[in-house]
Amino acid sequence: MAQPYDLASPPFEMDPAFEQPAEESQVAQSQRDRLIRIRHTCAHLLAMAVQRLYPGTRVATGPWTETGFFYDFEVPIQLTESDLPKIEAEMRRLIRANLPIIREVVERQEIQAEIERLQEPYKQQILQRIPEGETITRYFIGNPDSGRWRQPGKAPEGSLFQPYVLPSEEVWWDLCAGPHLNFTGEIHPEAFALESVGGAYWQGDETQPQLQRIYGTAWETPEELQAYLRQKEEAAKRDHRKLGKELDLFSLQEAAGGGLVFWHPKGSQMRLIIEDYWRKAHLQAGYELLYTPHLANLDLWKTSGHFEFYRDSMFEAMQVEQQQYQLKPMNCPFHVLTYQRHLHSYRELPIRYAELGTVYRYERSGTLHGLMRVRGFTQDDAHIFCRPDQLQNEILGVLNLTEQVLSDFGFAEYEIHLSTRPSPSVGSDEVWQLATAALKGSLEAKGWTYQIDEGGGAFYGPKIDLKIKDAIGRLWQCSTIQVDFNLPERFEIGYVNQDGSRKRPIMIHRAIFGSLERFFGILIENYAGDFPLWLAPVQMRICPVTQAQHEYARQLMQQFRSWGYRVDVDQSQDRLAKQIRNAELQRIPIIAVVGKQEAQSQTLSVRTRKQGDLGSQTIEQVIEMMAKAVSSHTTV
């Protein structure tokens, strides 16, 4: 058992990784470490509060997240949003009590007996998943030896409150690897909030018991919390699921099965624009375009290693004429087979293949989320086969293309991570050093700031991940560049070198959007459905004042369409004010009103979402405005 609490010496065993004062270059990482500890500690405080308020509650797991924390419970009653204020109040009381948080290393048999006595089945299963020989730790909130507490004379530095002596029944613990704060009082009581109550299956498995999940958010200061809540409110307005329905862009039809996207005419129009742009950009960058099948013999996925390493994310194989076929979860083996169709010379390299390839992955129903996580999606996939001496230039070329594409879609701020060799991995030290140096060299050639994620690479090679920042400051993981030594070996592909010897090419996997579906969802939320002119499914709506102007409006529509612009006419015969309102609700960039005067003078009365009422405009003036906005990828 841990030693008694004594402010004159370190209280019990504090978290061994608790951060020390950081050097200037380490400040950002130190702040992130502290935020993780705050959120992880809040998760434990939440569990402690729920078990105190609702006797008989059993706890499952409670991790920190990118914006807060959650905990899963088996509670004797059905919790609702109305219960959250009471739970928050109990958490604040525990924070103000400034209880010590104590890490204890325990023996498996001892802790197993205690868990059985407490009748905590989820703790028991968590314990069983800890490998034999691995250190087992639990974290206490409160003094487990409370009978020997000493009255403090001074609160620890960083605590907001004086330590408060609580009775022993207020001690709580859970199995946990950490990290945590050292005192509950290091959390500001007005810098966290509980957000919602939901359901979750134990271990994400629909065959397991359904638990209740409480979500919360936590920050260092009340000001940061308020900024997050404002951003969350703005994000709710931009939710792509809500806007997708309002603007009639797409749907997810449950009758067809979860996680399958139906692109409606307006969404399909936007997808076509995105695809056409993508193809043109890749052809200009020296890529060759491919189309590959949606399924293949299961043996291909065994050769590639996907069946071995990725099986849980693949749909079940289907039987076809005594052979098993598998829906593809990846495009890369198809591109390798295309490369392998004949022996290549070193002079032919690099070879760049690109494909908008639809893939299928088994995602549990509880993880599906609008366009952001689906079961069928189209990757903007590309694979480059190159010589070692070409590697850095090819990576730099990918970064240049990525910058061009993302900028044209309105994203100019990135967060970049370089992930290095994990353990275990395949490949020699020499090729890992070559690939990592090439990734670093290309980033430095771009002058981009990046963070190193030590050991975060794939087992087959290091990678660069790029997160884009949207209009309200959120980061989205999209683009990735991965060097691969594994697939060339598995498929034994090669090229004939200058000296006549047979060499393995290096393979680069890369995507810019990630997937069309997810990127489309990000675009909707970034622009709040108010798209720049070049992307808008309807670029201009013509609103006739009376029935007498309908013929002129239709003539205008046909003229603009013949010049390649997406224009329609309001056919509703509603009053003009309602026509304009409907066009505004659809976020159509340009509204052109035509009445008797406009019909006589062959003009349009124009208003745009950005500039407002522009008054009477000639057809030539409107064309010039639209052409300029389309070519510059801007709004009007």
**Catalytic sites, residue numbers:** 332, 361, 379, 381, 383, 463, 509
If one counts every other C-beta atom within 10 angstroms of the C-beta of residue 28, the result is 11
**344 contact partners, CB below 8 Å, separation of at least 6:** 351, 385, 494, 495, 496, 505
- 232-233-235-239 Cα dihedral, nearest 10 degrees: 130
Strands ordered across the beta sheet of 288-289: 288-289, 351-360, 376-386, 506-511, 475-484, 463-469, 414-419, 451-453
Phi, psi angle pair for 144, to nearest 5°: -65, -15
Distance in angstroms (rounded) separating the CA atoms of residues 581 and 74: 49
Q: Which residues contact 579 (CB under 8 A, 6 or more apart)?
A: 543, 570, 572
Rounded to 10°, the helix 222-238/516-527 angle is: 110
Contacts 24+ apart (CB under 8 A), 310-319: 312/362, 313/361, 313/362, 313/363, 314/361, 314/362, 315/360, 315/361, 315/362
Query: What's the CA gap between 553 and 545, in Å, rounded?
Result: 10
- Distance, in Å, from the CA atom of 397 to the CA atom of 386, rounded to the nearest integer, reads 13
Distances, alpha carbon 173 to alpha carbons 2, 44, 64, 195, 521, in Å: 13, 8, 17, 24, 41
State how far the Cα of 285 lies from the Cα of 405, in Å rounded to an integer: 11
DSSP tag of 429: H
By C-alpha distance, which of 355, 359, 339 is closest to 506? Answer: 339
Taken as a whole, the chain contains a residue count of: 636
Instruction: Give every CB contact of residue 262 below 8 A, 6+ residues apart in sequence.
Output: 250, 251, 252, 253, 256
| Nearest C-alpha neighbor of 227 from the set 528, 472, 522, 526 | 472
Closest CA to 570 of 597, 593, 548: 593
What are the residues facing 511 on neighbouring strands?
Answer: 381, 480
Q: Are 144 and 173 in contact (CB under 8 A)?
A: yes
**Residue 563 structure tokens:** 């010049």
**Which runs of E-coded beta strand occur in 504-635?**
506-511, 540-544, 567-569, 590-594, 603-608, 612-618
Kind and range of the H or E element at 583? Answer: helix 576-585
Amino acid at 237: K
Say how far apart CA 575 and CA 282 lie, in whole Å.
47
The runs of H, that is alpha helices, within 285-361 are 298-304, 306-309, 332-339
